[in-house]
Structure 1
């Protein structure tokens, strides 16, 4: 399952579906992914959706409309997908905690860079350029 969760667009899809509990249409999903990814490939998103379907993370409903010949695909998370969403949220919390540790860089006139990181204690690294 970890391999599936690491595939392209899977994390984005799970997070978007998690924010749209009722579900979301494919075109709206593409739009939302496009807001965070510059070069979105619909075929890659479709492959990820199919992989997620095969692994029980999402469900797809085909919605038929009278003015359309083809159905619109509507996606939502399964219970397994909701569990994966919780893992994704914890992953984001860990990443925020990692990034939020104190980090400062001071550049001196002599071409030295001093990195100061604070986690449990204080660590000072000196680098010459």
Structure 2
């Protein structure tokens, strides 16, 4: 199930962003990933349900709460699978 989740469209882009930045709020993810907000929300919720991401909400006074996402320890290990993929592909060139 993990490999299937990591292979979904836009997941790698999201995890790349979160690996580079410790904590990112929803609006920032929207700016960096070309996906509509509804689909982004579904993907983020899926990653949270698999404990790949942690979700935190902070109150912003009278404004709406900001929702922040960060990689969990499990998420960091899962993200490392992308590097394993690169290593295997470079070792066994399919050209």
- The number of residues matched between the two structures is 92
DSSP 3-state at the match of 1:15: helix
Instruction: Give runs of aligned pairs for residues 17-56 of structure 1, distance below 5 A.
Output: 17-21=18-22, 23-34=23-34, 40-56=35-51
Q: TM-score, normalised by structure 2?
A: 0.83
DSSP 3-state at the match of 1:64: strand
Equivalent position to 1:85, from 54, 60, 79: 79
Please give the per-residue CA displacement for 1:10-68, whole angstroms capped at 9, x wherever unaligned: 111111100012x101110111113xxxxx22211111100001000000100111140
Q: TM-score, normalised by structure 1?
A: 0.63
CA RMSD of aligned residues (A): 1.9
Point out where structure 1 has 5 or more consecutive residues left out of the alignment: 35-39, 102-116, 118-129
Larger Cα Rg: Structure 1 or Structure 2?
Answer: 1
Q: Whose strand proportion is higher, 1 or 2?
A: 1
Tell me, in whole angstroms, the C-alpha distance in 1 between the residues paired with 2:86 and 2:58.
33
Tell me, in whole angstroms, the C-alpha distance in 2 between the residues paired with 1:8 and 1:45.
10
Q: Whose helix proportion is higher, 1 or 2?
A: 2
Give the match for residue 107 of structure 1: none
